[in-house]
Amino acid sequence: MMMNRRKLLRQFAATAGAAFSAPLFPNIAQAALRSSGGGPKRVIFFLQNQGFDPKTCIPAGMKNSGSLAKAKLPEPIEALEPFKDRLHIINGLHGLHTSPSHSAFFGALGGYRGDDGAPPLGPTIDYELSKVLPQTLMPHLCIGMDSMENMKAKPTVANLSASGAGQPIFMQSNPNHLYQMLYGGISDGDIRKQHEARSSMFDRIEQLAAADGQSLPMADQQRYEQYVKGFHDINDLRGRLGGVSEHLRKFAPKVDDRYTKPQFETDWHDVLLDLGISALKSGITSVLTIGSGRGEIFGSWKGLGVEEQGHNLGHMEQPDNPIWIKIRQYNSRMLVKLMEQLESVPEGSGTMMDNTLIVYTSNNADKQHTAGATWPVMLLGNCGGIFKTGCFTQLDGKRPINALYSTLLNVSGVPCERFNLSDKMAAKFDAGTGPLKEILV
């Protein structure tokens, strides 16, 4: 009976971990290195699976670095045309060392080799930034978008983000669960009842887990403490959210039929985005990671009129493909919504968007079955004039995606010559050190 209980607790702990990315093995001293001025106050990572072909984002005829002012954006990202002055398209980074064929998985944001089912080899950039950006109630929130079947069958998965080696961070894919977690304490009716029931359950499980762990051998106790900590963290988060309930009421999205009676998977995609935006605007989180396709080879967009789904989408050429144009346009509209919503909130002498950086790319580099020789990225926002915008930059293919991540840490106040790249690996895969000067003012 005791072992059955422990097995159950482990399963609960994995789900609880999806809600809160607490630091287990911090690599950067948060208090000492937190930036008090300049740099982004929040960062959003948006990763579309199956690759990001550079021909779908680089304006026709643009071979060299230059201004986007007189260029026309390709059809897949045409929704960003009114925001060209905030856009920076980057081509020529690589991920040869990440093995991104079907997906680099954790390696896409970690800058190391990833594989299906393999644990993360180290922390990912989104997690590291969550430790050094201005403190929030929940430093890091991950949401994942997939087919309706997959989101219901596996409402939490971990493929993209990690707090350290062997420490994955889970994505939330069921908007009802995420709404309960963020706003259950200020809701009425069934949502409030479900929130209170889950809260009582997690309190009790934390107590049981702590009691059970005391009877284990020392080696097992250390492992078991991680499960106990997962429950403690989620209970602690619930308490902190309850302490600012009146503030949260201003930002909680309205629950409608898209939550409980979705017609298509894109209904859930849309409300997951709304919840992510509300978490940013309310100050619940400072780092949002969006996995469209959840970092795997699956995914479905029937709500866009796309009947093909999953692995087959990765075997299609993306340029001039009506299916991929629809998916990328959908992504672009989401990016526009993120910007417009953050632009609507005053912050300092400007708006929240003035202090936000959006990083859009893929966990598959440029395509499925790729070696990762080129890894296109789009940045949106200049964070007070730190990043160049309104331009296209063509790099020489000699610097890895790690160089972009070290740049993000540097502008956030954390000196970083290389991110997750040993001297031995750098000698083979990185022709430079430090930040990418080409993208900074």
Q: How far apart are CA 59 and CA 394, in angstroms?
A: 12
Residue 99 maps to a domain: yes
111 touches 98 (CB < 8 A):
yes
* Report for 3-17, 134-148, 193-207: range of highest mean pLDDT: 134-148
In a domain, residue 369? The reply is: yes
Q: Tell which wins on pLDDT, 101 or 205.
A: 101
- If pLDDT is split at 50, 70 and 90, which confidence band does 20 have? very low
Q: Give yes or no for residue 14 having a pLDDT over 70.
A: no
**pLDDT for the residue 326:** 98
Using only C-alpha atoms, the chain has a radius of gyration, in whole angstroms, of 21
**pLDDT value at 8 more than 80:** no
| CATH number, domain with residue 271 | 3.40.720
Q: Does the residue 209 lie in any domain?
A: no
pLDDT tens-digit series, residues 300-317:
999 999 999 888 899 999
More confident residue, 135 or 120: 120
Burial class of 24 by CB neighbour count within 10 A (0 to 12, 13 to 18, 19+): middle
Q: Where are the alpha helices (DSSP H) in 282-360?
A: 311-314, 322-343
**The pLDDT of residue 244:** 83
Task: At 377, give phi and psi (nearest 5°).
Answer: -140, 140
Contact of 382 with 69, CB cutoff 8 Å: no
Per-residue pLDDT of 319-363, as tens digits, reads 999 999 999 999 999 999 999 999 999 999 999 999 999 999 999
Q: Helix, strand, coil % (nearest 5) of the chain? A: 45, 15, 40
User: What's the pLDDT at 181?
Assistant: 87
- Please give the model's pTM, rounded to 2 decimal places: 0.86
Q: Which domain holds residue 320?
A: 41-177+265-439
- In the numeric block, the tokens 């029931």 are attached to 197
Quick check: 32 pLDDT over 60?
no
Number of compact structural domains in the chain: 1
Q: So what's the pLDDT on residue 243?
A: 76
Q: How many CB atoms lie within 10 A of CB 236?
A: 15
Reported confidence tier of residue 205, pLDDT bands at 50, 70, 90: low
How many angstroms separate the CA atoms of 192 and 184, rounded? 5
pLDDT tier at 238, thresholds 50, 70, 90: confident
Is 281 buried (19+), middle (13-18) or exposed (0-12) by CB count in 10 A?
middle
The answer to the question of residue 199 being in a domain is no
- Percent of the chain scored above 70 by pLDDT? 80
- Distance (Å, whole) CA 339 – CA 371: 32
Which stretch, 210-224, 239-253, 314-328, has highest mean pLDDT? 314-328
How confident is the model at residue 235, as a pLDDT? 61
Averaged pLDDT, 211-229: 58
- Distances in Å between the Cα of 290 and the Cα atoms of 7, 125, 163 are 30, 14, 16
pLDDT at position 21 is 42
Residue 305 belongs to some domain of the structure: yes
Find the mean pLDDT for residues 32-59: 84
Give the integer Cα–Cα distance in Å for 382 and 335.
15
Q: Summarize pLDDT for 353-390 with one digit per residue, the tens.
A: 999 999 999 999 999 999 999 999 999 999 989 999 99
Residue 231 is predicted with a pLDDT of 54
* Cα separation values, 239 from 183, 184, 185, 236, Å: 12, 12, 9, 5
**Is residue 12 a part of any domain in this protein?**
no
At 270 the three-state DSSP class reads helix
Q: Which pLDDT band holds residue 408 (cuts at 50, 70, 90)?
A: very high
* pLDDT given at position 373: 97
Q: Could you give the percent of the chain with pLDDT greater than 90?
A: 72
What is the distance between the alpha carbons of residues 66 and 305, in angstroms, rounded to a whole number? Answer: 36
Q: State the average pLDDT over residues 221-244.
A: 65
Q: Mean pLDDT, the chain, as a whole number?
A: 86
pLDDT of 239 reads 73
Place of tokens 């040869």: 96
Residue 208 domain flag: no
Select the more confidently predicted residue: 347 or 241: 347
| Statement: residue 198 has pLDDT above 60 | no
Give a yes or no: residue 101 inside a domain: yes
Confidence band for 16, pLDDT divided at 50, 70 and 90: very low
